[in-house]
Amino acid sequence: MLPLHFRSSFGSSFRLCFCFSRTVRVSSLVSFPLSLFSVSLRVMSKPPSAFDALMSAAKKNSKSKTSKLSSPPKKRKSPLSTSSQNPSNPKSPKLPSPPITVVEPEQAVKQEELVKPVKQEELVKPEAVKPEPRKVRQLLTSSSSKGKTEELKKQVPQLKQKPSSFDPASIIAWEKGQPVPFLFLALAFDMISQESGRIVITDIVCNMLRTVMLTTPEDLVPVVYLSANRIAPAHEGLELGIGESIISKALAEAYGRNENWIKTQYQKKGDLGLVAKESRSSQPMMWKPEALTIRKVFNTFRLIAKESGKDSQEKKKNHIKALLVAATDCEPQYLIRLLQTKLRIGYAEQTLLAALGQAAVYTEEHSKPPPEIQSPLDKASDIVKQVYSVLPDYDKIISALLTEGLWKLPKTCKFTPGVPIRPMLSKAAKSVTEVLNKFQDVEFTCEYKYDGERAQIHYLENGSVEIYSRQAERNTEKFPDVAAAVSRLKKTSVSSFILDCEIVAYDRATQKLLSFQTLSTRARKKVEIEDIKVNVCVFAFDLLYLNGQELLQENLRVRREHLYASFEEESGFLQFATALTSNDVEEIQNFLDQAVGASCEGLIIKTLNEDATYEPAKRSLNWLKLKKDYMDNLGDSVDLVPIAAFHGRGKRTGVYGAFLLACYDNNNEEFQTICKIGTGFSESVLVERSSSLRSQVISKPKSYYRFGETINPDVWFEASEVWEVRAADLTISPVHRAAAGIVDPNKGISLRFPRLVRVRHDKAPEQATSSEQIAELYKAQKYNQANKQDDEDEEDY
């Protein structure tokens, strides 16, 4: 059924419907093939006087014109050849039929084949009626749509130029001030996915951002959020909330595919984005929707995230479907990946931040650094990274960047209650002696390292409480008991604060700490206090903000004094971290033993006065961790990412028998293999991990995976999980690539006899143990295994 709608400027309308098989002729003037079962075309009429005259004439002369314009006897007649649509009476005012432009993208259909010229004798003489000017909605023709796409595809490779020689004005695929096409971002993503060098990727991103800043600066915020694969700051808790089943259904409906076919192709390719791209390229369309813009995609994503209540899943599916229908070229591939939050093209957030700073330097308005800055590009990258660690909110940072300039960012973007800062982190130490050597002549303190969940608690002036994870995710709904406890136990003189602490599972009857695994059994959302079965205690160790005053630049001694003076302790609800200030080896060793006996992981050793400020997002030598793993001869506990697996045999048939693990290199933004692991799994855990990772299978390793040539796993995974692993020791390896070039110029480092401890749900893959940390751990080993390098059996796991 093809409905044609005619509407006059007064709002009156009528509608004709007709059935068709494969080809339709409209007034014998327009012919087009169809791949859909129903299509709607809306055609705007002439001004009322001309239109009424046209329709009046058509009614009077329907018979004569029908015989002229009707199709051959054996062919179905077009509904526009009926009496109500025939404007052929020579005595009536003659106007051309309203133009109908039909687009069929991805097919080589020439415009002249779609629309046949109207013969002069069928037109109205211009002097008969002088219609008023009118605006006609312009539909993109197939040739113009393809032309713009091809033009953009030719221009985007310029982004790979060195920023010093790149001219953002050379990208002229859209008018200045017009919304940035989503295809521009998708093509940039595609280019990045084919690169492995961090410098090249940074250049591409820098030039991309410069182009947006020059042409459409108001689109810089959505470009940056989509580049970070987010739709809002993490602390806002705004998530898309869609599973792969909804995406698959939308994909099937948008491209006329069977849902089972989609699932089969997904299993074969391991990438739903590639399935979408292939489906779109082979699916013709009669009418081309308006081209996607970055603004449109970003706003639709936020709309999807805000859908709730009845039929919300159906509404989300329809939003996705609308985007997919309008997508072209490689757009479907990256739309799907963004929806899955699995962009995974080797484009880390640190690169985005560095590129944003460099783009600001190259942008004319903000290119004048203070005279004391010798390396503006490096300094710009550092400024943006530092500001983001204190205020992880792209809306605020970019607004300040575009209005006040790059060099004023540290003053315009400050620590703000209600926005979590990135937590300060510690480096590993192997022994008490090592701690004393590093902190010579410096006063330090030791605190219990609790086995819980790192949290940042914000108490605002209005009395509200917000709780955030180490990844800046909002956890307020997860811990309503914690919110109640800190509100009750703060002193009356305290009107606002930001507390750095550890939330630990706690048995109040026995007054004992419980394991992290026990804590992980708590529900994550919409927790009611009366339903809580696992109690927790807050162990506070730092105060970052108090009564409107930022404390980051104060030393730890001052911050700790404010902490102790601002809260009342209550056992099992809120306690200060157990601490010891001493430089005696034996005393510290005993304190470490006590911490382990109290079910803690070990100690955190911190400077008190010198170099004792709070450094957001930094893994500082001013904080050292001494864990129990370092004293029981089981080796070091590290956080690694499974990136591949080997099929199980014998009793392990049907599950993965071993996994290939990797650390993360922050400098090169790549995952480097460090070991195979096949021990430390119970049967149930092995089934659970195999089942979890099957959904992450990909057809080939990512360009940012580094591994030896002799490693040939059966399947590769998306980097999606973090596992805590304990090993006997570390050794130089000719096969694995962890920290390659740091300890040995040609070889990497591997773990001997690794075993799984637990899955770290609180960490993202990029937060895994870094290659630099691996090198430090190797150097810190008490004995040198250099003599065993050549004898190492790489198959041991």
CA distance 408 to 410: 6
CA distance 634 to 726: 7
Q: From the CA atom positions of the chain, what is the Rg in Å?
A: 33
What's phi and psi for 773, nearest 5 deg?
-65, -40
**Does residue 232 contact residue 225 with C-beta atoms inside 8 Å?**
yes
CA distance 797 to 790: 17
Helix (H, G, I), strand (E, B) or coil at 367: coil
Closest to 670 in 3D by CA, of 335, 225, 350, 338: 350
Residue with tokens 């911490």: 595
Catalytic residue among 288, 317, 449, 627: 449
CA distance 750 to 742: 13
Closest to 607 in 3D by CA, of 657, 568, 555, 561: 555
**Does residue 656 contact residue 694 with C-beta atoms inside 8 Å?**
no
Q: Which two tokens stand for residue 307?
A: 């859908």
Residues, the chain: 797
75 is catalytic: no
CA distance 536 to 514: 9
The dihedral through the CA atoms of 355, 357, 362, 363 has a sign that is positive
**Does residue 216 contact residue 179 with C-beta atoms inside 8 Å?**
yes
CA neighbours within 13 Å on the CB side: how many for 766?
Answer: 15
**Does residue 29 contact residue 96 with C-beta atoms inside 8 Å?**
no
Residue with tokens 């926005």: 419
CA distance 363 to 356: 10
Q: Count CB atoms within 10 A of the CB of residue 194.
A: 10
Closest to 271 in 3D by CA, of 625, 570, 776, 698: 698
Catalytic residues: 449
